[in-house]
Every structure is written in C-alpha cells, then in structure tokens.
Chains A and B, each alone.
Chain A
Amino acid sequence: MNIPGYRESIERECRIRREAMQRLPIYIAGIEVRRPTLADLDTLEAVRSPFVTGGSPPTPEDVASFLWLMSRAFARVRKVAPFLTRLCAKRFMRRCRRLPFLETVGEIDAYLDEQLMDAPGSRMKGGGDPVVNGTASIIAYLARRFGWSREAILSLPVVEVNQYIRCNQMAEEEKPVFFNKFSGRAKSKWLKEQNSKNS
C-alpha cells in the first residue's frame, strides 16, 4: 500500500527523534533559536501567541516576540547582562521588521510542528470538560516516574520530554498507543480520501 508522503514522513520522524537528544543549532529565518521547553510553551500560552493558541493569524509583532523569546540572543543577554535586555530586544525587533513575513511564519510553524512531535494523545471521553492543566499533568507524570524536580522538567526541551514519556509508556503500558505526527497525518489524509470515495 503506497500512501503518498508516508515514507518521507517516517524518515522525517526518525530524524527528529535522532536529533531530540542532541544540541544541534536551529535557525528560523537566519536567527538561532533554542528548542522550546515546557516553560516556553507556558509563556507563549500566557501571552496568547497565535503560534501555540491558534485562532487569529499571527501578526509581524507576534513573529518578532516569538523569535525573541526563543532566540539564543535573548537567553544569552538575560544570563550575562540582564540590564541590556530591553535595548537588545529593541534592536532585535528592528531586525525582525526586515524578515520575509510569510516565509518566517511558515518556518515557525514547521519548527513547532517538529519540536512538539511525539506528544502523547489524550483519551476521548465523550465530551467531558478538561479537568487538569496539561503542563501540570506532564510534571506530575515525570516527577512520579523519575523523581525529577518541577524546575528540571520545565527546563527540558519538549521534544526530549516526549521521548521520555514514550520510553515510559513502552516500559509500563500493556497496549500503548503512539501518535506519529507526520506519518499519522499522511495516513489520516489518505483514509479520508478513501472513505469519501466509498461513501
């Protein structure tokens, strides 16, 4: 059975998992960025960044603030010379004005798609309301299994966290269900096409 895009998706997923434990530099529109941590995702949610909350399309300001938060430059200045943060942010925002907007949005989406890969699925429970914060649930899970502190878990890249959760699922769950974002997407698309042909 040849599902369009399936093989390529598997290769992409393998590469992302291989790189999940490495510290390779990542660039978005030529700007070096960090891998997002759980704390970063919480911050992006708190500031209602459309890159993580969805909804309205991102603006150039959303792009600039996203890149600033995730940039290595911000991490460095905050660590070495926090009093220069405001000045550096201004310069950075000016630089962002020159970026090609649509291409940069596309690169940010692709970066998040990859960095958030292998997230565990959730149980479908017939329309019940959510009862717990997602970050708290991950912290509780990893703290219970590995004894890590809240701070340690929050500072781990999400792509790495998802690998630990998978390892644990494989070791402990009788019938773990895994979601492979890119190959799964290719399969879902193919299934929709086939089922609509049949109906």
Chain B
Amino acid sequence: MADTYNDGGMVINPQPVTINEVIYIIESIDVTTPTTVVESLDEDGLPNKQYLAKGFTTGSATLQLASSETALPPLLGSFTVTLVGGGSLTFIISEVGQTWATNTETKVNIGIRLRINTPPGD
C-alpha cells in the first residue's frame, strides 16, 4: 500500500455532502496519510528491522454552495463522503478558507481531517 493517496478522482458524479443540515457539493478532495518510520540497522549498518505507523489523514477540498447567501460550512463540522467502491469516510472541517464566486457559483476551500473515532450514538 502506498504511503500517500490522492482521492481527487474519487467523485465521478458530483457528490453532495450534508453539513449542519445544509447540502453542498464537494469536489477536488485531496488527502494524504503520512507514516512515521522507525528504522533499525544491524552491526554492519544494513537495514534489518523497521516499524511503520500510519499518521493522521489530512487534506483539503472545495465545496460548492447553492448561492452566495448559503451559510459557509462551520469549522469542526463533519460530513461523510461515499467511496466509489463502497464504504464511506467521515471528515472533520479543520479550516474554512477563502470564498470564491462568479455570478452563478460560490465555492469555498476547506481543510479536512479524517475522523478516527465514531461519536457515541452515531
């Protein structure tokens, strides 16, 4: 398995997400999972052991809003995306960035972190 993955191609059709009861369309998801590596060498200086630990999955995405009047997604809000092959991932919004607009479209960049634990009751 690769150390990083870019799932920007994950959404074939536009994927709606619901955050705080407001629906947005998510696009350009880009997430990375780094690893921490502990290496061990033998007495000749050759690799003989290693330990790898997956780190936190973080990244960014762009959300399309219904209009410029639509509420921006809240910081620490969460949403779930469906994977093409089945299953889903839940992300927490760690950053709400710049909002961009044309006459007909409004978009905002967000920072995201993969949720690790399922809250009680979910």
B109 is an interface residue with CB less than 8 A from chain A: yes
A198 is an interface residue with CB less than 8 A from chain B: yes
Contacts of A184 in B (CB 8 A): 64, 102, 104-105
Contacts of B14 in A (CB 8 A): 1, 3, 6, 183, 187
Closest A-B pairs by Cβ, 7 of them: A191-B66, A121-B100, A184-B105, A124-B99, A177-B100, A192-B66, A121-B102
Chain B nearest CB from A115 CB (Å) reads 15
Seen from chain A, the residues whose Cβ lies within 8 Å of a Cβ on chain B are 1-3, 6, 119, 121-124, 175, 177, 179, 181, 183-185, 187-188, 191-192, 194-195, 198
Asked whether, in the complex, the Cβ of B64 is within 8 Å of the Cβ of A188, the reply is: yes
Contacts of A177 in B (CB 8 A): 62, 98, 100, 107, 109
Contacts of B99 in A (CB 8 A): 123-124
Cα(A26)–Cα(B42), bound, Å:
73
Cα(A6)–Cα(B101), bound, Å:
19
B interface residue count range (under 10 / 10 to 19 / 20 to 34 / 35 or more) = 20 to 34
Asked whether, in the complex, the Cβ of A121 is within 8 Å of the Cβ of B101, the reply is: yes
Cα(A175)–Cα(B25), bound, Å:
17
Contacts of B15 in A (CB 8 A): 1
Asked whether, in the complex, the Cβ of A185 is within 8 Å of the Cβ of B25, the reply is: no
Chain A nearest CB from B54 CB (Å) reads 24
Contacts of A185 in B (CB 8 A): 104-105
Contacts of A195 in B (CB 8 A): 22-23, 66, 70
Cα(A153)–Cα(B99), bound, Å:
28
**Residue ID in chain B nearest A198 by CB atoms:** B21
Asked whether, in the complex, the Cβ of B64 is within 8 Å of the Cβ of A191, the reply is: yes
Contacts of A1 in B (CB 8 A): 13-16
